Structure 1
Amino acid sequence: MGMSVTISAATEQDAEQILKLQYLCYQREAELYGDYSIEPLTQTLDDLRAELGGSVALVARLGAEVVGSVRGTVDEDGVAAIGKLIVHPRMQRHGLGGRLLAAIEDRLAEEGAATRYRLFTGHRSEGNLRLYRRCGYAQTGTEEVSRRLSLVVLEKPVGEPALVSGL
């Protein structure tokens, strides 16, 4: 390709590209669980813009194209919630998910009050679980959403390395 992927803060102008990428990326999850009504597939552009305005949001760009994104917030208890980590299917398995995760961790830690990172994924999402474990996350719980879906909650303390060997 000749271009490198850069990671930067998302802007209002990125919202439409993020929403389209989110829709593409969550198709596999919807198929895996037999549920196409999941929030990432039903979120509107206005809802996404509001979410971007109330969170730390990063994008990965290949030239002008958004090929990845992640969002996070820090609550009053110091828990940095990380969500909607997405990477374009053609860019997966090249370390970009790990780079985005490390970047959002750094950005949320800069906010100052974070003591733990927390994220979740579906119990059948083996690729996601492998990535999060390689990045130092440990399972802290499971939440049953429906007969078909349980969410695996993973956490790690702020200050642990963002990436561990094996990526």
Structure 2
Amino acid sequence: MGMSVIISAAAAEDAEQILKLQYLGYQGEAELYGDWTLDPLTQSLESLRAELAEQQFLVARLGDEVVGTVRGRIGADGVARIGRLVVHPRMQRHGLGGRLLEALERRLAEDGRPLTAFRLFTGHRSLGNLRLYARQGYRQTAVEQISGRLTLVHLEKPAAAPLAATA
């Protein structure tokens, strides 16, 4: 009998598994760009724990194992900034990244604070990421040259308007 992947809020005790997954998940990005100093590869456990306290984190679990994660928060400008969507390599191409992204968007929209848009970014060579974000309704808003090897593609999608209450 197979297990289902469950998406839920991350807990403080998930920090170590999230950090390990992040490190594993960003190996391909580091190779793609020839840069092993990417922030997700050099982040400390203490720094990740601090982010857990400041942002909304979701994890995807297969049994006790964290196999996916994403984080985000709504800024004072009403824009939700989403980051570090990571899915374990063996779990990729099964829709889990899209499920995590949708779950985080829903969670942020239900936060109660004004929300106008969702923003994220990825590297220009990360074609799988760009395809996923396009399928999820994100559109390119800017391109930022970081180095000779890396250009960031910034993407955004409007937050859904709240449903009007019916009388």
TM norm structure 2: 0.94
Q: Which amino acid aligns with 2:149?
A: R
Task: State how far apart, in whole Å, the 2-side matches of 1:142 and 1:97 are.
Answer: 23
> Could you say which residue in structure 2 is the equivalent of 1:33?
33
> Could you say which residue in structure 2 is the equivalent of 1:48?
48
Q: Which amino acid aligns with 1:98?
A: G
Q: Which amino acid aligns with 1:107?
A: R
1:144 aligns to 2:158 (yes or no): no
Q: Which runs of 5+ in 1 are unaligned?
A: 161-167
Shift of 1:65: 0.3
Shift of 1:51: 0.7
Which contiguous aligned blocks of 4+ residues in structure 1 show a shift greater than 4 angstroms? none
CA RMSD in angstroms, aligned pairs only: 0.9
Task: State how far apart, in whole Å, the 1-side matches of 2:142 and 2:133 are.
Answer: 14
> Could you say which residue in structure 2 is the equivalent of 1:59?
59
3-state secondary structure, aligned to 1:40: helix
Identity among equivalent pairs (%): 69
Task: State how far apart, in whole Å, the 2-side matches of 1:153 and 1:99 are.
Answer: 20
Shift of 1:90: 0.3
What is the CA deviation profile of residues 42-74 of structure 1, one whole-angstrom value per residue up to 9, with x for unaligned ones? 000000000111000000000000000000010
3-state secondary structure, aligned to 2:26: helix
> Could you say which residue in structure 1 is the equivalent of 2:155?
154
Task: State how far apart, in whole Å, the 2-side matches of 1:39 and 1:84 are.
Answer: 10
> Could you say which residue in structure 1 is the equivalent of 2:107?
107
**Aligned residue pair count:** 160
Task: State how far apart, in whole Å, the 2-side matches of 1:40 and 1:4 are.
Answer: 27
Rg larger in structure = 2
Task: State how far apart, in whole Å, the 1-side matches of 2:77 and 2:23 are.
Answer: 31
TM norm structure 1: 0.94
Shift of 1:114: 1.4
> Could you say which residue in structure 2 is the equivalent of 1:163?
none
What is the CA deviation profile of residues 12-33 of structure 1, one whole-angstrom value per residue up to 9, with x for unaligned ones? 0000000000000000000000
3-state secondary structure, aligned to 1:47: helix
1:2 aligns to 2:2 (yes or no): yes
Q: Which amino acid aligns with 1:60?
A: A
